[in-house]
Structure 1
Amino acid sequence: MEDSEGAWRTALYGPQGFFTRGSIPADHFRTAPLIGPELAEALLVLLDRVDAGLGRPPRLDFVDVGAGGGELAAAVRALAGGPLAERLHVTAVDVGPPRALPGVAWVRELPATVHGLLVGHEWLDAIPCPLVVGPHDDPWLARWWPLGPGRHAEVGSTRDRAWADAVGRVRGAALAVDYGHRKEDRVAGRYPEGTFAAYRDGRRVPPVFDGSCDLTAHVALDACADAAGGDWVLVSQRDALAALLPPPHPDASRPTRTRSAGMAWLDAAARASRVAELRAVDGLGSFGWLLHGVGVPVSDLLPPLPPWRP
C-alpha cells in the first residue's frame, strides 16, 4: 500500500487522529491495567529490583510510555509505599490530552533520561509502519520476515528504532509488553495476511485511515530486542507474572462459613480470577515481555524462564 505508514500515522496522531482527539484503549478494548491492580503490583516488584540494582538512588523513575488513559501509571503511583513512595517519580507519556492524575506527571515526549524503569505497555503495536505485499526487497524483511508472492507483512524497522531510542535513554531497565511474533513463525508463513487490524467500541472492524478506529499490528519483538541490544530476555506475560506475583491464597479455592473469613475468601477468589485473566494462555498471558537491563543485569530482575512463544 503506497505510503501506508504515513496514512496510518495521520489516522492515529494527525490533527484529527484517533489518539490526538483523546480516544484511549479503555474505550475500545479490555487492557491489562483495567483488570485490577495486579499488573501494577508485579511491576512494583520489578521496580524494587531495579531500585536495588541501582543502589537505591535519591530519585527513581517509573515511566509509562503510550500511557493511554494513564491507568497503569496511576496504579503504580497509588500502590507504591514506604521509602520508595517518597523517592518515586511517575511519568505518563502520551500524545492525547493530559489527564489529571495525582502524583503523575503527564508529558508528550519521552524524557531525555530515565533512572529506573521504563514500560511500554501496548505502545509499540501503535507505532505505524509500512504495510507491504510480497515479494518485496526491503532489507528488514529480508532479515526478519521473508515474503513469498501475495503474502502481507508489516515492516518493523520503525518499531525497532523507537524501542532502541527508548532503551538508550534508560539506566535501570526497559520493558516492552505487547502482542507479537517471532522470526521462526514468520518464516514458517504463520501470518500470510500480516497482523494489521482495527478496533472500535470493543469490536474488530475493517481498517480505515479516517481516525475513527484504533489501528494496530503485532510487534516483531525479537527484532526490537536485537535493535536495542545489550542484556535482554523475552518471556511470556504468563511466566513473568508467575515469577513476580505471590501465589494465590490457599483460601481462594475453598469457601468458608464465617462472615469475616468469607469476605477474605471472596477477595482471594476475585484476585485469583484477575490473575488468571492476566495469565490466560490464549489471551493476555500470551503477551511478550521484552526486558532489557541497562546497568542492572536481567538475571537480577527475573529468574530463568522459558522463552516466549506467542
Structure 2
Amino acid sequence: MTTADSLTTTLTSRMVQAIQAAGGWIGFDDFMSRALYTPGLGYYANDLRKLGLMPGSGSDFVTAPELSPLFGRALAVQVGQALAHTQTDEVWEFGAGSGALALQLLQALGEQVRRYTIVDLSGALRTRQQQTLQSFGERVQWVSELPATMQGVVVGNEVLDAMPVQLLARGDGVWYERGVALAGERFVWADRPTPLRPPVEIDGSYDYLTEIHPQAEAFMRTLAERLQRGAAFFIDYGFPEAEYYHPQRHMGTVMCHRGHRADADPLVEVGLKDITAHVNFTGMALAAQEAGLSVLGYSSQARFLLNCGLAQLMEQAELPLRAQAHKLVMEHEMGELFKVIGLCTGEPWYATGFSAGDRTHTL
C-alpha cells in the first residue's frame, strides 16, 4: 500500500466514525473541514506535495507566486504603499503555501518590513516555508492562530477559497442543506430540510445548488476586530453576489484539484486532493465592514497587477519570465476569474492597485 493509499484509508475510516457518531449525517462544511485539516491526514495537514508548476513534480496545482516571481514584486508595490500609509512595519500572510510569495515580498520590500508573520495550519508546508525563507532569520515567524491584537498589512492569496462552505440545494421549490451520509463505507450526498437560504433571492423553483460562506465571513469579522491599524489584501477566484447567485449558476462552484486536473467530486480520494469553492466577495466585504473595516477597492487581478506596474516589470524581464507572467493577466487564464479586495482600518485612502478599473460598485 502506498503512502497516499494508507493516508486516504485512515482518513476515510476516521470520517466514517465521525458520521456514525453524528447520527449518520454531517454538513458538507464539516466534511470539507475534516478532509482538508484533520491533523496529519487532511489535505493541508499531510506531507504530500501540493504546489508546483507541473504534474510531474507530484504537485496538484500552481498558484500565482509559483507561476511568476513578478506577481509578488507587483503586489509589493501595493503592500509597500499600505505599510507607509498606515505607518506599520509588519506583514501578515495567511496560508503561505510554499513560501514563494513571502520570499518575493521580503526581497522587494527590504527594510520596510521589520517582521513577517505567517499564519498557517499546515506543518508540512511550514517546513517548506522555513527552508525557503531561512536567509531572513528571525524576521520571519510562524503562528497557528491570530493574536488578540495586531497591526500591519495582511495578505492572503488563495486562502478564502479553502475555507469550508455549507451547501444549499433547492429541489421542487424546497431548500435543503446538502451534507454527507454513508452507503456502507462509501460517502454519499444526503439532503435535509433547512431554514438556511442564500443571501439573495434566486428566482424560480427549478433545481439549484450553491454555497454559503459562514466560516470565511467569520474569519473576516475576526480579522476586523483584531487589526488595530493596517490594511488587508485578499486575492482569490470568485464573484460579487449578483454574479455568484445568478440564476444560471445552478451547479454550485465546489471544485477539487489533484495532479493539475480538476473534478467536481469531493467525496472520493479524501485527503489526497484540494477542495475549494469560489468566493462571494460581497459577503466578505459586508462582513468586514460590519466589523469596522473600510473597503479600499475591488478589481480583477489583471487590473490590480497592471496598476501596480506589472507591465513595466514584464518589459524588463527575460522572455520566459515574461511569458509566464502573461498568465497572471490574460482573461482566459487568471486575469479575470481572480479578483483582489482591499480593506483598511479607518477611512479609505487612495490605493495604487485600485487606481483604475475599480469595481467596488459591483459588490
TM-score range, shorter chain: 0.7 to 0.9
- The 8 Å contact of residues 64 and 91 in structure 1, kept in 2 or not, is answered as yes
1:30 is the counterpart of 2:50: no
RMSD of the alignment, in Å? Answer: 2.6
- The 8 Å contact of residues 119 and 145 in structure 2, kept in 1 or not, is answered as yes
Amino acid at match of 1:172: G
Once structures 1 and 2 are overlaid, which stretch shifts more, 206-215 or 216-225? 206-215
Aligned to 2:305: 241
Q: Deviations over 1:151-178 (max 9, x none)?
A: 1111122211112222332221111111
C-alpha displacement of 1:132: 2.0
Aligned to 1:125: 161
Write the distance in 1 (CA, Å) between the matches of 2:288 and 2:98. Answer: 27
Q: Deviations over 1:131-166 (max 9, x none)?
A: 121142655514376784421111122211112222
State how 1:168-183 maps to structure 2 within 5 Å.
168-170=225-227, 171-183=229-241
Aligned to 2:22: none
Aligned to 1:214: 274
SS of 1:67's partner is coil
Aligned to 1:4: 28
Once structures 1 and 2 are overlaid, which stretch shifts more, 28-37 or 143-152? 143-152
Write the distance in 2 (CA, Å) between the matches of 1:63 and 1:190. Answer: 37
Amino acid at match of 1:19: Y
Aligned to 2:327: 277
Aligned to 1:72: 101
- The 8 Å contact of residues 11 and 17 in structure 1, kept in 2 or not, is answered as yes
Aligned to 1:191: 249
C-alpha displacement of 1:119: 1.0
Unpaired runs of at least 5, structure 1: 253-263
- The 8 Å contact of residues 145 and 153 in structure 1, kept in 2 or not, is answered as no
Aligned to 1:200: 258
C-alpha displacement of 1:28: 0.8
C-alpha displacement of 1:296: 6.2
- The 8 Å contact of residues 145 and 186 in structure 1, kept in 2 or not, is answered as no
- Residues 145, 217 of structure 1: alpha-carbon distance in 2 compared, 3 angstrom cutoff: farther
Percent identical across equivalent pairs?
Answer: 25
- The 8 Å contact of residues 167 and 174 in structure 1, kept in 2 or not, is answered as no
1:156 is the counterpart of 2:213: yes
Aligned to 1:21: 46
Write the distance in 2 (CA, Å) between the matches of 1:179 and 1:130. Answer: 18
With normalisation by structure 2, the TM-score equals 0.72
Write the distance in 1 (CA, Å) between the matches of 2:347 and 2:109. Answer: 21
- The 8 Å contact of residues 238 and 280 in structure 2, kept in 1 or not, is answered as yes
Amino acid at match of 1:305: G
- Residues 47, 122 of structure 1: alpha-carbon distance in 2 compared, 3 angstrom cutoff: same
C-alpha displacement of 1:204: 1.2
C-alpha displacement of 1:278: 0.8
Write the distance in 2 (CA, Å) between the matches of 1:182 and 1:305. Answer: 15
- Residues 93, 78 of structure 1: alpha-carbon distance in 2 compared, 3 angstrom cutoff: same
Write the distance in 2 (CA, Å) between the matches of 1:293 and 1:95. Answer: 25
Write the distance in 2 (CA, Å) between the matches of 1:152 and 1:118. Answer: 32
Amino acid at match of 1:150: D
Aligned to 1:227: 287
Once structures 1 and 2 are overlaid, which stretch shifts more, 70-79 or 227-236? 70-79
- The 8 Å contact of residues 80 and 109 in structure 2, kept in 1 or not, is answered as no
Amino acid at match of 2:348: P
1:288 is the counterpart of 2:313: no
Write the distance in 1 (CA, Å) between the matches of 2:86 and 2:277. Answer: 35
- Residues 294, 22 of structure 1: alpha-carbon distance in 2 compared, 3 angstrom cutoff: farther
Aligned to 2:142: 106
Aligned to 2:359: 307
Write the distance in 2 (CA, Å) between the matches of 1:234 and 1:199. Answer: 26
C-alpha displacement of 1:271: 4.1
SS of 1:247's partner is helix
Count of residue pairs brought into register by the alignment = 290
- Residues 198, 146 of structure 1: alpha-carbon distance in 2 compared, 3 angstrom cutoff: farther
Write the distance in 1 (CA, Å) between the matches of 2:90 and 2:197. Answer: 33
With normalisation by structure 1, the TM-score equals 0.84
Aligned to 1:93: 119
- The 8 Å contact of residues 93 and 110 in structure 1, kept in 2 or not, is answered as yes
C-alpha displacement of 1:5: 0.9
